[in-house]
């Protein structure tokens, strides 16, 4: 067993050896607590049949835990300066492939097909750079990649929004978008003290398990998300106000929107945050023919 990368001493040694300095613009915060990395790996339920995808491996702290528990690891690293470091720190593991690409621009589906061709169980496990957390998760889900799930460390505040329930102030269009595709649960809250450098906020690990089928039936997915975004555009406004001001020609079809709300039994004076995902599905299906005539 090799000495863990994720200890303060070993991390400092590696950074010093390579003269590495953190780039704020890339949201680099390295984990220096092996126990937390073990918890992350365990909550992903990895086996020797799993292909793990990591985003932003840094100096390889989480990567080595994934390499020990998975069949193969595919890690996307955007920072050129980390490539030689990773080659060194991960040299004991022959089942890791580091790709120097931005995950948001990469052909992830293509790489899954070539790198994981005999692997059926695929998990994304990552300590995400905070500034791109939401776009990354959203893209992984909307691209319909063949994943079992996603376990990521992110800002606690974003984790709270992702797993929020209707009627709470955290609940919003992000909660609905993620819960449409997955079952979301917060696995643990992580203090800022286990990172180098320390971020200003606490973090949380969230586990998203993909539904076999979306939990609601919608006639048009894109429109469904458009309606949820519109409903939360101004949180203090009523549903009717938001829908008429945010949807294309909403004001022109106000009467028809009112009628549609009446038909599905949703009070136009409610606020977006009180609607369940099932109600949003009914709403978007009722409004689709009105807005897209």
The annotation status of 56 as a binding-site residue, yes or no, is yes
**E strand or H helix at 155, and its extent?**
strand 149-155
Closest CA to 125 of 115, 140, 144, 113: 140
- Ligand-binding site membership of 102 (annotated): yes
* 31 annotated as ligand-binding: yes
For residue 197, which of 37, 2, 20 has the smallest C-alpha distance?
A: 20
Q: Give yes or no for a cis peptide into 197 (omega within 30° of 0).
A: yes
Rounded Cα gap, residues 32 and 11, in angstroms: 7
Please, which residues have CB within 8 angstroms of residue 150's CB and are 6 or more apart in sequence? Answer: 123, 124, 125, 137, 140, 141, 182, 207, 208
End-to-end CA distance of the chain: 64
292 labelled ligand-binding: no
Dihedral angle over CA of 224, 229, 234, 237, nearest 10: 10
Q: Which residue, among 194, 203, 198, has the nearest Cα to 157 in the 3D structure?
A: 203
> Per the annotation, does 29 bind a ligand?
yes
How far apart, in whole angstroms, are the C-alpha atoms of residue 83 and residue 287? 50
CA angle 172, 178, 180 (to 5 degrees): 100
**φ, ψ for residue 213, nearest 5 deg:** -130, 150
Tokens 């590696």 map to which residue? 14
Show the tokens assigned to 280. Answer: 């949003």
Name the binding residues: 29, 31, 56, 77, 102, 127
Name the binding residues for S-adenosyl-L-methionine: 29, 31, 56, 77, 102, 127
């Amino acid at each position: 067993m090799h000495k863990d990368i994720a200890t303060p001493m070993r991390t400092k040694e590696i950074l010093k050896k390579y003269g590495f300095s953190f780039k704020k613009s890339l949201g680099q915060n390295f984990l220096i607590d092996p126990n937390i990395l073990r918890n992350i790996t365990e909550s992903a339920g990895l086996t020797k049949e799993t292909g793990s995808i990591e985003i932003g491996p840094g100096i390889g702290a989480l990567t080595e835990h994934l390499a020990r528990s998975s069949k193969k690891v595919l890690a996307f690293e955007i920072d050129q300066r980390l490539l030689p470091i990773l080659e060194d720190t991960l040299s004991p593991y022959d089942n890791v492939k580091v790709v120097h690409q931005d995950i948001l621009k990469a052909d992830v589906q293509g790489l899954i097909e070539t790198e994981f061709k005999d692997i059926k169980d695929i998990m994304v496990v990552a300590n995400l750079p905070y500034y791109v957390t939401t776009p990354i998760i959203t893209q992984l889900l909307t691209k319909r990649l063949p994943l079992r799930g996603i376990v990521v460390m992110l800002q606690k505040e974003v984790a709270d929004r992702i797993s929020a329930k209707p009627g709470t102030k955290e609940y919003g269009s992000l909660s609905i978008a993620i819960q449409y595709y997955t079952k979301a649960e917060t696995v643990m809250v992580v203090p800022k003290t286990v990172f180098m450098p320390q971020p200003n906020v606490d973090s949380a690990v969230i586990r998203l398990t993909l539904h076999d089928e979306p939990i609601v039936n919608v006639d048009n997915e894109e429109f469904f998300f458009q309606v949820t975004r519109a409903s939360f555009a101004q949180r203090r406004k009523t549903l009717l106000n938001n829908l008429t001001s945010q949807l294309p020609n909403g004001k022109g079809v106000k009467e028809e929107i009112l009628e549609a709300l009446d038909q599905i039994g949703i009070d136009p004076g409610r606020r977006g945050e009180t609607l369940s995902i099932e109600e949003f599905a009914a709403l978007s299906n009722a409004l689709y023919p009105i807005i897209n005539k």
